[in-house]
Structure formats: C-alpha cells, structure tokens
Amino acid sequence: MTTATEPRGNARTADPHLAGRAGPLRRATRWWPAALLAVLLVAPYSALPLPGLLDGPIGSPGNLQLLALCLVFGALATGYDLLLGRTGLLSFGHALYFAAGTYVTNTVMLEAGLPFAASAVLGLLAGVALAALLGAVSLRVSGIGFSMVTLAFAQAGSILVQRDPGGVTGGEEGRAAPADRLPASLVGIDHTANLYWIALAYLVLVLAVVHWAVRSPTGRVWEGIKENERRVEMLGLRPYGFKLIAFVLAGTLAALGGIVYLLLTGGATPQTTTSDFTLSLLVMVVLGGSGTRWGPMLGGVLYTWADHRLGDLAGSGAVAGLPAVLRVPLSQPLFLLGALFVAVIYLLPGGVVRLPRRLRAARTPRATPDREEAPAP
C-alpha cells in the first residue's frame, strides 16, 4: 500500500473559505465602474473638500471646471489609444481633428450665425471628413513614414490657423465663442455643473464606443495588425481598410471632444492645433497604460490634473523657501510634470493601471514545489 500527499495546487482552490469568498468578491469588483459613475454624477452637489487635490469643495465652479477638463482629456486619450495601443499606429497629427471640431463649430457660429446645435453637427462632420481624407493619404505609408506624414499635416494645420486667413481663426489669440449662439444653460459660472455633465457624458460615450469597437471582429483584426501586419495580409485581409476605420473613428471622437472643449473654455485657441498637443496625448496614454481598457483614461485624468495643480505647487511658499538649487527647477511646472512622468515610467512599466496587479503579485507568496513522500514499504 502506498501513500502520497496530494498536490496543494492553487491557493484559491485549496482553501474552501478563500474559494467561497473569491466568487462574490470578483462579482462585486465588476460593478466598480457603475459605482464610480454614480459618484461622478453627484459630484456637483458635493461640498466635500479634498485638501491637496482640489481647492475648496468638489462642487465649486473652479473645481468642476478642472474635473470636466480631466474627463475630456481622459476621453480624448482613450480615443487616441485606438491608434497607438490597439492598432499600433503612432500618429503625431491627432490634434488636428480635435482642433477641427473646435474651430469649425466656432467659426460657423461667428460667420454664418447658426445656432450651436447646427454648428456642432457641421464641426463634427468636418472632423470626420478631414480624418477620412488625411487618413487615406497617411496610411499609404507605414512605420516612421506614417508618423512623419501625420506630423506634416498637423504642422500645416497649425500654420494655417496662426496665419489667420480671412480673419476667421483669430491667429495667435484665437476667437471667443459667441455667447448669444450658445444655449443659455451652458453660459455663465452658474451653469458650470451642466458643462461638467456634458464632459462626463462625452467620456462615457467614448469608453462605450471604444469598448465595443475593440471587442468587435474589426477590433480583433486591429490587434492582429499591431502584432504582425504581414500575417494579416497572408490571411487574405487588407490591413489598409481596417487601419483607415480606426483612424477615422479616432478622429471622429477627437472632433467631438473639440466641440465639448469649446463649451468648457468658451473659445478656440491655436494651442489645440500644435504637435505638442498630440505629444501630450501620447504622454497620457503611456502614463496610464497603452492598450488597456482604463489606462488611457486614467493617464489623461492624471496628466490634466497634474498640469493644472503642479503650477500652484511651483508657486507656493514651500517651494519659494527652498535653496536656489532646488527652488529654480521646482518652480517650473513642466519640470515637475516631466519628473513625475519619468518616475512613473521607471517605477511602473506598463502604466499606472498596472499598479493594482503589481501590488497583488507582491502580496501573493510564491508557490513552493510540491514534495511527494516515498512509498511506504
């Protein structure tokens, strides 16, 4: 007769108590997006202060404005990740479609006198048409050539805006949106909550569209293109058409974001047309975690918050009282933002979204090899 100890296997299945708790816990964690959405919906009614994160209560107009910008750029980074993280396309011209939604909508209201709703539809259509046209040209090349072509288009658009042809763009100063053409419920500091909810709706829409697109058959082809485009061709598929769909969809979401941004800022400015704007999107995606469901959104929110809040830190009395060798670099917001980005990339490869997984891995004890007893005589 022989006896042997049974393999312990996975700790979750070995312990019935842990196994019993794992199921409900896993089901509960699936609902965290809905819980977070509920919290964000009621944020304008909150008087809760968050010292260090925000100035004053959450529901104050200034904080709602900042939170709305964070939501917009979180959505914008999520849409941009359709190119970078899902299809493997490094575009340096994504700001062009964001600016198209902003400038076309604002110009139509100012020059044609149309109301906001009709102008927004025209601005969105302009962004879609521009993305389809430039995408059809840019995708004729691949790799670094594609990146350079998109950069060239972005630079041309930026120069065009700054030259102010016919006085329609406002040049380096931009043009303010006409308040009489905007809905009364979206004008004034008293209606900041309405703008915040529009930004939140835009974020939810982008997340839903991207999630649906990635899980669709086309999304699986995007994944194949990113991994090995040549293999996709050998399967009888044309990568060009699938890449163009991703390009146009990302451009459409960016143009819609430009329209929301116009409402939040009350005007169109040339800063949204520069290649630096697209580089900021690239940093957001990498910061949060490229190719993940929540990473680009998280990166966009964190980057936008840090971009605004680190300026206050740089000008604070705590920094002013430091020695010159520390005060000079720390008084520059871009230095602080760059140092934060480098630290995250070095300490959290894969983005901030990987942090919970790394913490769980650190807490989980390493499995030891199972030892079997010798057969009994």
Q: At 33, is the pLDDT very low, low, confident or very high (cuts 50, 70, 90)?
A: confident
Q: Which pLDDT value is given to residue 1?
A: 44
Q: How far apart are CA 121 and CA 259, in angstroms?
A: 9
Neighbours of 165 (CB within 10 A): 9
Question: DSSP alpha helices (H): ranges in 266-320?
Answer: 275-288, 295-314, 317-320
pTM of the model: 0.85
DSSP assignment of 86-132 equals TT----S-THHHHHHHHHHHHHIIIII---HHHHHHHHHHHHHHHHH
pLDDT score recorded for residue 3: 46
Domain boundaries, the chain: 56-274
Look at residue 205 and tell me whether its pLDDT is greater than 90. yes
Structure tokens belonging to residue 172 = 């380096």
Residue written as tokens 């966009």? 300
Q: Which residues contact 301 (CB under 8 A, 6 or more apart)?
A: 70, 71, 73, 74
The Cα-based distances of 76 to 33, 79, 139, 155, 300 in angstroms read 18, 5, 21, 20, 8
The one-letter amino acid code at 269 reads T
Tokens of 73: 């750029």
Residue with tokens 């059809």: 136
At 117 the pLDDT is 94
The pLDDT value given to residue 351: 81
Q: Write down the pLDDT at residue 275.
A: 77
Q: How far apart are CA 103 and CA 101, in angstroms?
A: 6
Question: 49 — phi, psi (to 5°)?
Answer: -85, 150
17 pLDDT higher than 80 = no
Which amino acid is present at 37?
A: L
Tokens at residue 364, please? 């989980």
14 pLDDT above the threshold of 50: no
